[in-house]
A and B are shown apart, each in its own frame.
Chain A
Amino acid sequence: MSTIHEVLKISNISKIYQAKNGEVEALKNINLTVNEGEFVSIIGPSGCGKSTLLSIIAGLEEKTSGKIYINKEEIVGVSRKIGYMLQKDSLLEWRNIYQNIMIGLEIQGIKNKENEAYVDELLKKYNIYEFKNKFPSQLSGGMRQRVALIRTLAIRPQILLLDEAFSALDYQTRMLVIKDVYQILKNENKTVLMVTHDLSEAISMADRVVVLSNRPSHIKTIHDIEFDMENRDPMNCRENPKFSKYYENLWKELDINA
């Protein structure tokens, strides 16, 4: 990260859901800029609009107003520069692991030699190659989530959105997968926006933590997370004295909201 390069810009995003029993004002004037290679966690009270925000960035949900820019260009709808990883791995049980990973490339019609080679490289680098002919039901939960990540990376997104991507895993597996995913994302130099309800998870991975308020949600505060460690990873930074400090601050921040 020699020169700071702005990758994602969220400008004045608002969202009002129209439902049968009235309007739900979910987001109000959200502004956020994310730089290349940065890891940003988003936390907030439950139901405040975190998933809504990611879905809008991913182009799955219409925004009521505001604009989204990637590399300073406005995007409308689903952008190929964005990969979105959901809570459920949603692996297709009728496809083997390799075919599951290829689905994004198939859909975007870019299943060519070059991309296949890239997928092979990912498979080998992240120890999935030997499982590639297995079927999802033969894999453990942690392994499945890792496959889901590779499936998202296969289309070479510049920005990755994670929505509670690890919350379905049990504690032990979650710790391992988080460490794993963190390493992979850093290796591939991805810019990440992650929603989680787990404060430790948010702090342990992030360069910045964004705190959203209650509905209608706006950005309450943004905390810079800095550990001054050589080889920081989501495991070892938890032992850093600063960690509990951050935790306490964020906890208070959320508490005031509730």
Chain B
Amino acid sequence: MREKNISMERKKYLKKVTRNRVTVILTQIFVLIAFIATWEICANANIIDSFITSQPSRILNTFMNLSQNGLLEHIGVTCFETIIGFLSGTVLGIIIAIILWWSKFLSKVSEPFLVVLNSLPKVALGPVIIIWVGAGMPAIIVMALSISLIVTILEILNGFLNTDKEKIKMVKTFGASKLQILTKIVIPANISTFINSLKVNIGLSLVGVISGEFLVSKAGLGYLIVYGGQVFQLDLVMTSVIILSLVAAIMYESVVLLEKLITKTHIMN
């Protein structure tokens, strides 16, 4: 709607929408600043013990020395492990979901196993994984993979099985083969399922990587957090936690960006 003469009501309405949005953002910024300021002031006034709680200025300091204290390298390691775990979990999950969609028999057989594996807290497998693949980066990646894989399979298989039966019937009337049903209907109809599972997986892979790093690693943000805790360097712990949340946010946002890109090219409207 590219109308030139917008009515007064419309103008008012648009203004109100913008104003509401600005108010929300300003309030969010204010809350954040107030929290940081209170933290800093309380620490300076010795109301809280900055040895245990750390304090914003010291976190900033640690952050500034990023390149010297090797933080950058740790961030790199964690990101690398997460992305590998995430990608392999998603790709394997999709492949297995396709196989299970293809064969009703296999899907029936595997159902109880998948349900049990899904409810098992994967972190409990940590020691087993370490023994099997060795203490180190592979173990961490396997950990991330094991956390995201089962959920991905269940999520995507569920999406596949819920594909509009009428659409499938429609292509069957043209004599579509099973492969054609998969590629022409089931996969394109489930793009949003894929993206949703990407969104969930990025978070899950980070959980897997960090818990893996808690257990075995010699590098990475998880390692820094454990190490900082052991030597009572709360500045390091806090900085790592903050960076971790930034990393998580950036990864999540890149998936959202990918989603926008795909929906734009894939489905108009």
Partners in one complex: yes
Interface, chain A (partner B; CB < 8 A): 58-60, 77-78, 80, 83-84, 86, 88, 90, 92-94, 96, 103-104, 106-108, 135, 137-138, 152, 155
B188→A84 contact, CB < 8 A: no
Nearest CB of chain A from residue B177's CB, rounded to whole Å: 8
Residues from chain B with Cβ under 8 Å of A106 in the complex: 184
Q: In the bound complex, how far is the Cα of B183 from the Cα of A106, in angstroms? A: 12
A107→B269 contact, CB < 8 A: no
Nearest CB of chain A from residue B262's CB, rounded to whole Å: 10
* B268 and chain A: residue at smallest CB distance: A135
A92→B188 contact, CB < 8 A: yes
Residues from chain A with Cβ under 8 Å of B267 in the complex: 93-94, 135
Q: In the bound complex, how far is the Cα of B264 from the Cα of A135, in angstroms? A: 13
Judged by a CB distance under 8 angstroms, whether B95 is at the interface is no
A107→B266 contact, CB < 8 A: no
Q: In the bound complex, how far is the Cα of B180 from the Cα of A84, in angstroms? A: 18
A86→B188 contact, CB < 8 A: no
Q: B170-188: which have CB < 8 Å to A?
A: 170-176, 180, 184-185, 188
Nearest CB of chain A from residue B220's CB, rounded to whole Å: 40
A86→B172 contact, CB < 8 A: no
Judged by a CB distance under 8 angstroms, whether B3 is at the interface is no
* A105 and chain B: residue at smallest CB distance: B174
* A138 and chain B: residue at smallest CB distance: B269
Nearest CB of chain B from residue A39's CB, rounded to whole Å: 20
Given the known A-B contacts A60-B172, A103-B184, A107-B180, are A137 and B269 also in contact in the complex, defined by CB atoms under 8 Å?
yes
A135→B269 contact, CB < 8 A: yes
Judged by a CB distance under 8 angstroms, whether B9 is at the interface is no
Q: In the bound complex, how far is the Cα of B164 from the Cα of A86, in angstroms? A: 14
Q: In the bound complex, how far is the Cα of B174 from the Cα of A29, in angstroms? A: 27
Nearest CB of chain B from residue A228's CB, rounded to whole Å: 36
A103 CB contact (under 8 Å) in B171, B191, B266: B171
Residues from chain A with Cβ under 8 Å of B189 in the complex: 92, 94
Q: In the bound complex, how far is the Cα of B171 from the Cα of A58, in angstroms? A: 12
Q: In the bound complex, how far is the Cα of B171 from the Cα of A155, in angstroms? A: 12
Residues from chain B with Cβ under 8 Å of A58 in the complex: 173
A88 CB contact (under 8 Å) in B166, B185, B188, B266: B166
Nearest CB of chain B from residue A86's CB, rounded to whole Å: 6
Judged by a CB distance under 8 angstroms, whether B167 is at the interface is yes
B269→A83 contact, CB < 8 A: no
A103→B166 contact, CB < 8 A: no
Q: In the bound complex, how far is the Cα of B164 from the Cα of A80, in angstroms? A: 24
- Residue in B169, B170, B176, B189 with the greatest tally of chain A CB atoms within 10 Å: B170
- Residue in A58, A77, A92, A138 with the greatest tally of chain B CB atoms within 10 Å: A92
A107 CB contact (under 8 Å) in B169, B175, B191: B175
Tell me what chain B mostly uses at the interface: helix, strand, loop, or mixed: helix
In the A-B complex, list the 8 residue pairs whose CB atoms are closest, starting with the nearest: A84-B173, A78-B175, A90-B170, A104-B174, A107-B174, A88-B166, A135-B268, A90-B167
Nearest CB of chain A from residue B233's CB, rounded to whole Å: 52
* B175 and chain A: residue at smallest CB distance: A78
A92→B167 contact, CB < 8 A: yes
Nearest CB of chain B from residue A118's CB, rounded to whole Å: 16
Q: In the bound complex, how far is the Cα of B169 from the Cα of A106, in angstroms? A: 16
A90→B164 contact, CB < 8 A: yes
B175→A80 contact, CB < 8 A: yes
Q: B157-208: which have CB < 8 Å to A?
A: 164, 166-167, 169-176, 180, 184-185, 188-189, 191
A108→B174 contact, CB < 8 A: yes
Q: In the bound complex, how far is the Cα of B170 from the Cα of A92, in angstroms? A: 10
B166→A107 contact, CB < 8 A: no
* B164 and chain A: residue at smallest CB distance: A90
- Residue in A103, A107, A135 with the greatest tally of chain B CB atoms within 10 Å: A107
Q: In the bound complex, how far is the Cα of B173 from the Cα of A80, in angstroms? A: 9
B175→A83 contact, CB < 8 A: no
Give me 21 A-to-B residue pairs in the complex whose CB atoms sit less than 8 angstroms apart, sorted by A's number: A59-B175, A60-B169, A60-B173, A78-B172, A78-B175, A80-B175, A86-B169, A88-B166, A92-B167, A92-B185, A92-B188, A92-B189, A94-B188, A94-B189, A103-B174, A104-B174, A107-B184, A108-B174, A108-B175, A138-B269, A155-B174
Can you add 17 more A-B contacts, CB < 8 Å, to A78-B174, A90-B169, A138-B269? Answer: A60-B169, A78-B172, A78-B175, A80-B175, A83-B173, A90-B164, A90-B170, A93-B267, A94-B189, A96-B268, A103-B171, A103-B184, A104-B174, A107-B171, A107-B174, A107-B175, A135-B268
